[in-house]
C-alpha cells in the first residue's frame, strides 16, 4: 500500500493549505495510506552541528526522518510569505538536504494561493522546486496542481466541499500513488 506523507507549509491554525491536506485525507484513493505530518513547529532551527554523521539528531528531527522513511511519496501544500517559502518549511526542508531521505522520492504540491495573491504562489513553488532538486526528489508534474482556495471554501469541519478543488486534490493524489519511488 503506497504511503503519502502530507506536509503543510503553514503553521497557521485553520490555514487553507491545511484544509487542502485534510481534504486529501478524506479523499484518499483506495489502497493508499495518507499521513499528515504535524511536527513542523517542533523542529529546531537547522544547524549542521546538530546533525552529526555519527550520532543522533535532535529527537524531533529523528521523528520527522522516521516519517519520511515510512513514506513512498510526499504531497506539500504551502503558502507564499514575502515572495518565498515560509521559514518553518524551509527549515524542515533544510533537515532533508544532507540526509538523503527524499532522494528519488516522488513529490508533488498543491498551490492553494487565492486568486488575489500577487504572484499566485509562484515564487514559493519555484523555490520548492529548487530545494527539491537539491534533495534529489522526483517532482511528479501531474501531482503539481493549482487549486485556489478562499477561506469561504473551507467548511466548519475544516474540509473543502468545492468539487473543482476536490478534483485537483484527487488528481494530485492519483499521480503520486501511481509514481513508484526510485529503486536506488
| CATH number, residue 111 | 3.40.50.360
Instruction: Please check whether residue 182 lies inside any domain of the structure.
Output: no
Instruction: Please check whether residue 39 lies inside any domain of the structure.
Output: yes
Instruction: Return contacts of 130-134, CB within 8 angstroms, 24+ apart.
Output: 131/85, 131/90, 131/93, 131/97, 132/93, 132/102, 132/107, 134/97
Mean pLDDT, range 144-163, rounded to an integer: 94
pLDDT digit string (tens) for 84-134?
899 999 999 999 987 788 999 999 999 988 766 667 778 888 999 999 999
Which are the contacts of 151, defined by CB distance < 8 A and separation ≥ 6?
A: 16
Model confidence at 157, pLDDT cuts 50, 70, 90, reads very high
Domain coverage including residue 56? 3-177
User: Structural domain tally of the chain?
Assistant: 1
- Name the phi and psi angles at 129, rounded to 5: -60, -45
CA end-to-end span of the chain: 19
Tell me what pLDDT residue 138 has: 95
Instruction: Please check whether residue 135 lies inside any domain of the structure.
Output: yes
DSSP H helices, the chain, are 16-26, 59-70, 87-97, 122-135, 163-177
The pTM for the full model equals 0.93
Instruction: Please check whether residue 140 lies inside any domain of the structure.
Output: yes
* Distance, CA of 145 to CA of 10 (rounded, Å): 18
Amino acid at each position: 500500500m503506497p504511503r503519502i506523507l502530507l506536509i503543510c507549509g503553514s503553521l497557521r491554525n485553520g490555514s487553507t493549505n491545511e484544509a487542502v491536506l485534510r481534504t486529501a485525507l478524506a479523499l484518499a484513493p483506495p489502497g493508499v495510506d495518507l499521513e499528515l505530518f504535524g511536527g513542523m513547529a517542533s523542529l529546531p532551527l537547522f544547524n549542521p552541528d546538530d546533525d552529526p554523521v555519527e550520532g543522533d539528531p535532535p529527537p524531533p528531527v529523528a521523528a520527522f526522518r522516521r516519517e519520511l522513511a515510512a513514506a513512498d511519496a510526499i504531497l506539500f501544500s504551502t503558502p507564499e510569505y514575502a515572495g518565498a517559502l515560509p521559514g518553518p518549511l524551509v527549515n524542515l526542508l533544510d533537515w532533508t538536504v544532507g540526509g538523503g531521505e527524499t532522494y528519488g522520492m516522488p513529490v508533488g504540491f498543491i498551490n492553494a494561493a487565492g486568486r488575489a495573491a500577487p504572484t499566485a504562489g509562484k515564487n514559493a513553488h519555484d523555490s520548492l522546486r529548487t530545494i527539491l532538486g537539491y534533495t534529489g526528489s522526483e517532482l511528479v508534474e501531474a501531482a503539481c496542481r493549482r487549486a485556489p482556495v478562499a477561506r469561504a471554501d473551507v467548511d466548519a469541519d475544516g474540509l473543502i466541499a468545492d468539487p473543482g478543488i476536490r478534483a485537483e486534490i484527487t488528481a494530485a493524489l492519483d499521480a503520486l500513488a501511481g509514481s513508484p519511488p526510485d529503486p536506488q
